[in-house]
Structure 1
Amino acid sequence: MSCGIVDPDIKFSYKNRRAGKGEAYEPTQHEHVANTISHAIGIGPSFIIFYFYMLNEAHRELQHILMVIYGIFTTTLFISSTVYHLFELLYRSRNLHRKLRYYLHICDRASIYLFIAASYTPWLTLRHCGYPGLNLKWMIWVFAILGILYQYNFHEKYKTIEIILYILIAAGPSIAIFSMNDRSGLDMMIIGGMAYAIGVIFFKLDGILAFAHAIWHIFVLIGASFHTYAVYAFLLGPDKNNPVPDV
């Protein structure tokens, strides 16, 4: 007679136990599938939006270049995440291709830094900013490179530091907002940023909430959608308040 006591070592079908200190969470097969699909659905729409809409709406060469950068690194975010989680789905349970999966994970995390930099670049370049913004449009890429170097050297070793780095690099450049002469569209950027911030909560709930990582992916999709719409609606085309210089 069990008397209602549940064996803590029994694995649930939709989530496993929370990882202990120094351990990595072991997703269930259901979670691997959800992790893969939840970002795979972003690849096609991101490519279509950037190639058929944003590039066509770009006005003059500078906007076109910025949209290429923005489109490449946004789509790369979804592709790298999907490929990594697909390999985890196919090979983790059999413990195959460990080194390849390790480097795919690094690429997945590195693409987040590049995505953050690419998301800020159109705003910091096409909007007239004060002194902070003028420097941040190149410093954000330096921060991204430093984040990638950190990821390569200390991957999964200091998870709290890693989260703090993402938050600082994602939130820090927002100070340039206060020096912009035109703030139209920034409300959409703030909503997108809030979606990412809420998603981070689920990023830390593996083993507590089933499909927590896939839910984090969904919030990334929501945040990227708001940011992409803001760029498309408020930064592209002729802008008398922020004229694009000849390149």
Structure 2
Amino acid sequence: MRSGVRDQPGQHSETPSLLKIQKLAGFMNHRVPAHKRYQPTEYEHAANCATHAFWIIPSILGSSNLYFLSDDDWETISAWIYGLGLCGLFVVSTVFHTISWKKSHLRMVEHCLHMFDRMVIYFFIAASYAPWLNLRELGPWASHMRWLVWIMASVGTIYVFFFHERYKLVELLCYIVMGFFPALVILSMPNTEGIWELMTGGVFYCLGMVFFKSDGRIPFAHAIWHLFVAFGAGTHYYAIWRYLYLPSTLQTKVSK
């Protein structure tokens, strides 16, 4: 009887912690070593899919809107480049996370899609800069940066192909350099309309990077990263629509 009485306090003291662990187990798995890929829980898988799938249709509609607002060849080309980058980001991400969730036994397919998902980010960054580099007066460096961003995207793609998931910190630094280097040219443009929106979008991306590498530390970290990407992309889209496409359309209507 006495031994049973002594065991009960220990059991009661462990119960709250065990319940807490069980509750968190459904929302987050243990963190993995740097050379391995984190395996999301069922809830995290669903959130990863939903947080980017939701934006596929808006990105298609938004890209189409820029195309119909285009007044010349450069605006049309820029709308196509930006639209493909924007839509491609959300579509590829959604397909990869869906396969990773529902068809994880297809190891090779999942691996290739994961690589493709990371490669698309480089081209999305380059595509996001394309309208500004093509449609704004930026000085002598602009003509070089138009091609340099695509060279950087190609180098990033080659890096992912050969070193995918090996050096995660290096991969993160590549995204940061790719995101900020062209901004040096953009921020020097004489016409400063849209600067604040560009900076705000950049802040969203930077804040999201905190969650990008926090799987296993913060529940739904990757899904939160997806939301920051969506907010950043939405802010940049507004700037492109408002300051690069809408003014010319309004002027045309007035002249008519």
Q: TM-score normalized by structure 2?
A: 0.87
Instruction: Tell me the secondary structure at the aligned position of residue 99 of structure 1.
Output: helix
The one of 9, 20, 28 equivalent to 2:41 is: 28
Instruction: Tell me the secondary structure at the aligned position of residue 151 of structure 1.
Output: helix
2:132 aligned with 1:123, yes or no? yes
Q: Which amino acid aligns with 1:125?
A: N
Q: CA deviation at 1:237?
A: 5.2
| Cα distance per residue 1:68-117 (max 9 Å; x no partner) | 1110110000000000000011022xxx1100000000111111000000
2:41 aligned with 1:14, yes or no? no
| Cα distance per residue 1:18-37 (max 9 Å; x no partner) | 11242221110110110011
Q: CA deviation at 1:48?
A: 1.1
2:77 aligned with 1:68, yes or no? no
Query: Residue 4 of structure 2 corresponds to which residue in structure 1?
Result: none
Query: Residue 58 of structure 1 corresponds to which residue in structure 2?
Result: 70
Q: 1:31 to 1:135 in 2, by over 3 A?
A: same
Query: Residue 143 of structure 1 corresponds to which residue in structure 2?
Result: 152
Q: 1:127 to 1:13 in 2, by over 3 A?
A: same
Q: 1:178 to 1:44 in 2, by over 3 A?
A: closer
Q: CA deviation at 1:66?
A: 0.7
2:217 aligned with 1:205, yes or no? no
The one of 111, 123, 139 equivalent to 1:102 is: 111
Instruction: Tell me the secondary structure at the aligned position of residue 144 of structure 1.
Output: helix
Question: How many residues align structurally?
Answer: 235
Instruction: Tell me the secondary structure at the aligned position of residue 236 of structure 1.
Output: helix
Q: CA deviation at 1:139?
A: 0.2
Equivalent pairs: percent with the same residue? Answer: 37
Alpha carbon RMSD of aligned pairs, Å? 1.8
Q: CA deviation at 1:176?
A: 0.3
Instruction: Tell me the secondary structure at the aligned position of residue 181 of structure 2.
Output: helix
Question: Which 4+ residue blocks in structure 1 deviate beyond 6 angstroms?
Answer: 7-11
Q: Which amino acid aligns with 1:54?
A: L
Q: CA deviation at 1:12?
A: 0.7
Q: Which amino acid aligns with 1:39?
A: H
Is contact 1:203-1:216 (8 Å) kept? yes
Q: Which amino acid aligns with 1:50?
A: S
Q: CA deviation at 1:135?
A: 1.0
Deviates more, 1:143-152 or 1:7-16: 7-16
Structure index of larger Rg:
2
2:180 aligned with 1:171, yes or no? yes
Q: 1:147 to 1:21 in 2, by over 3 A?
A: closer
Q: 1:60 to 1:27 in 2, by over 3 A?
A: same
Bigger proportion of residues as helix: 2
Is contact 1:132-1:175 (8 Å) kept? no
Query: Residue 193 of structure 2 corresponds to which residue in structure 1?
Result: 184
Query: Residue 100 of structure 2 corresponds to which residue in structure 1?
Result: 88
Q: Which amino acid aligns with 2:140?
A: Y
| Structure 2 Cα separation of the partners of residues 23 and 137 of structure 1 | 36
Q: CA deviation at 1:56?
A: 1.4
| Structure 1 Cα separation of the partners of residues 246 and 29 of structure 2 | 50
| Cα distance per residue 1:20-62 (max 9 Å; x no partner) | 24222111011011001110001001111111x2111111111
Is contact 1:113-1:144 (8 Å) kept? yes
2:162 aligned with 1:153, yes or no? yes
Deviates more, 1:215-224 or 1:18-27: 18-27
